Amino acid sequence: MPGGDFIRDIIANDLKSGRINSVVARFPPEPNGYLHIGHAKSICLNFGIAEEFSGRCHLRFDDTNPTREEQEYIDAIEADVRWLGFDWGKHLYHASDYFERLYGWAEDLIRKSLAYVDDQTQDEMRAARGTLTEPGRNSPFRDRTVEENLDLFRRMKSGEFPNGARVLRAKIDMASGNINLRDPVLYRILHATHPRTGTAWSIYPSYDYAHGQSDAIEGVTHSICTLEFEDHRPLYDWFLDHLPVPSRPRQYEFARLNLTYTVLSKRVLTELVRGGHVKGWDDPRMPTLAGLRRRGVPPSAIRDFIKRIGVAKANSVVDAGVLDFSIREVLNKTALRRMAVLRPLKVVIENYPEGQSEELDAVNHPDDPAAGTRKVRFGRELYIEQDDFMENPPKKFFRLSPGTEVRLRYAYFITCREVVKNAAGEVIELRCTYDPATKGGNAPDGRKVKATMHWVSAKHAVPAEIRLYNPLFNSASPDAGNFAADLNPNSLEVLADARVEPALAGLNSAEPVQFERQGYFAPDPDSTPDHLVFNRTVGLRDSFAKVVGKP
RNA sequence: UGGGGGAUAGUUCAACGGUAGAACAUCGGACUCUGACUCCGAGAAUCUUGGUUCGAAUCCAGGUCCCCCAGCCA
């Protein structure tokens, strides 16, 4: 029996003890924004449990607030869950599917004198709710007759009253230490158009009133949510205790995901989009599933990441580097290798005949011979990476500098003979010589070089735009209340004049490739045959960067 | 000074009265036609004070610190 965390332990025990025969879970998003990596934790947990224990997992939209929910989000959520690799089969539900039943149960509560219509204003209700340390006061409308309550509630439903005029409240305990039990609101008047039910309803159930009963209707056995709902559980149970529900779900809570250098709050993410701080929900800097997808992150990497971080009840912040690790872990095995020069520096091979060029063999994946080989063009004029040359190198610099010899991958050894500078003193060109005997990359005399560098032929390479992404925030734990102050102005870096090997022009999938020695890059949807655009999914580990103290 | 939760390496998670373990990160080293990958190695933790016990991260009591709750949001 699979175990691994306290939730799975509970389920395993429930199955073993016979309390349940099979597990039914659910992922219950509210369609008021896009899914992010924090939701991925919940999705992997709920759908993962269903898979592991041979149960099922429902996708249920918690669509009880038409003032913030939109069809666009509904569609995006379904697409994202599928993309992540999960299937709810025929079990697609909406809390709004149950509006009729929930309404009937509300009348039941009224008949049992367990609910009443309150005419207090919002301010009055707030004032009467008490504080964390003082009990609240009963509403003056708390003891209306069943008949009056029923009449008022029906008129609320028929749309007779304006927004905010009245609410239906549970009659529980205004003195409870748990504020959720101080006569919580069950229904509020909302004259709004619902994405699914249109204008059929002018009252809508609250989350607390809808969630547990929806679970019960669907036969959910384990209703897994995040920690902030822990003190809603007594209320969740109260409804199930007092209503003729068809099953008895149980709620369990786990700690939501937090990631360094990012914010996983739908409110903040929405503001980032609406405020134009990013280009949309799928901006590759966003921690949304849509953004990660656009950046080139494979869904299996996200699943691997979620597996690594575990599930527990302690609040925690996961190092964003763990996600990077998972991405590299997946991509290293699958991504084809290519050469691309991000910041080109021209190299002229003085002893290579003018006008000549040749094709050399390059492997597509060093650990997978089945991936085959391709040809790369070599010529007299090349581009190498600006970072791969230093005129006055420090001790541990193994790459090209005046007089040193390096290998150009799959090609030849070259030696730097001369440095050409412009009027400003910047290096604009290198004059080098090559050793024809080292064709393919090995010296017959057995001599070694300390560096192998990537390169492209100046004549044959294709121009490309490369987008590098850095964390959206400068702070490891941005203040969600004032996130603008922590925004990283350099989260997007565009390299407009990169050169890539021609094989990249014909890339026909959105799968990332590895630009050797640099990282994993995926074509952006903006990319066209005339204007290639690549997103850096994640960089390669770079231990040399630490040596030279690069950021 | 209400109610509900939580504290184990730098980080995240295990250990369910019987040798505190893993992953990421860090630091060494090997290998290498990617300063990648891979491999080997190292340092690094039970919030605190008592108690129970042959034996406590685990059970009990007190304390400390952290998080959540006063929406007609979810």
pLDDT tens sequence across A294-346? 999 999 999 999 999 999 999 999 999 999 999 999 999 999 999 999 999 99
Given pLDDT bands bounded at 50, 70 and 90, which one contains residue A4?
A: confident
Average pLDDT over residues A436-440: 97
Q: Which nucleotide is nearest to A314 (CA to C1')?
A: B6
Q: Report which residue type is found at A277.
A: H
pLDDT greater than 90 at residue A279: yes
Helices A99-111, A207-218: axis angle to 10 degrees equals: 110
From residues 432-451 of A, which are strand B contacts by CB within 7 A? 440-442, 451
Q: Do A36 and A288 form a contact (C-beta atoms < 8 A)?
A: yes
- DSSP letter at A389? B
Res A549: pLDDT: 60
pLDDT greater than 60 at residue A1: no
Is the model more confident about A75 or about A508? Answer: A75
CA distance A346 to A382: 6
B50 C1' – A12 CA distance, angstroms? 37
Sign of CA dihedral A241, A244, A248, A254: negative
Res A378: pLDDT: 98
A237 in contact with nucleic chain B (CB within 7 A): no
A317 in contact with nucleic chain B (CB within 7 A): yes
pLDDT greater than 80 at residue A516: yes
A530 in contact with nucleic chain B (CB within 7 A): no
Q: Is residue A421 flagged as an active site residue?
A: no
Res A551: pLDDT: 46
Res A545: pLDDT: 84
pLDDT greater than 60 at residue A3: no
B10 C1' – A230 CA distance, angstroms? 30
A367 in contact with nucleic chain B (CB within 7 A): yes
Side by side, the strands of the sheet bearing A167-170 are: A115-118, A167-170, A185-189, A203-205
Residue closest to A505 by CA, chosen among A547, A533, A543: A533
Percent of chain A whose predicted confidence (pLDDT) is above 70:
99
pLDDT greater than 80 at residue A508: no
Res A509: pLDDT: 74
Q: Is residue A30 flagged as an active site residue?
A: yes
From residues 131-160 of A, which are strand B contacts by CB within 7 A? 131-133
- Protein residue at shortest CA distance from C1' of B72: A188
Q: Which residue out of A248, A256, A313, A431 is catalytically annotated? A: A256
Q: Is residue A333 flagged as an active site residue?
A: no
Q: What is the pLDDT of residues A220-229, one digit of tens each?
A: 999 999 999 9
Q: What is the pLDDT of residues A479-505, one digit of tens each?
A: 998 999 999 999 999 999 999 999 998
pLDDT greater than 70 at residue A2: no
Average pLDDT, chain A: 96
Q: What does the angle CA A290 – CA A291 – CA A295 come to, to the nearest 5 degrees?
A: 120
Side by side, the strands of the sheet bearing A532-539 are: A337-338, A513-515, A519-523, A532-539, A462-469, A492-500, A340-341
Q: Which residue out of A233, A266, A303, A517 is catalytically annotated? A: A266
Average pLDDT over residues A387-405: 95
Res A271: pLDDT: 96
Confidence (pTM): 0.97
A2 in contact with nucleic chain B (CB within 7 A): no
Q: Report which residue type is found at A147.
A: E
From residues 454-513 of A, which are strand B contacts by CB within 7 A? none
pLDDT greater than 80 at residue A200: yes
From residues 73-102 of A, which are strand B contacts by CB within 7 A? none
Is the model more confident about A547 or about A84? Answer: A84
CA distance A115 to A106: 8
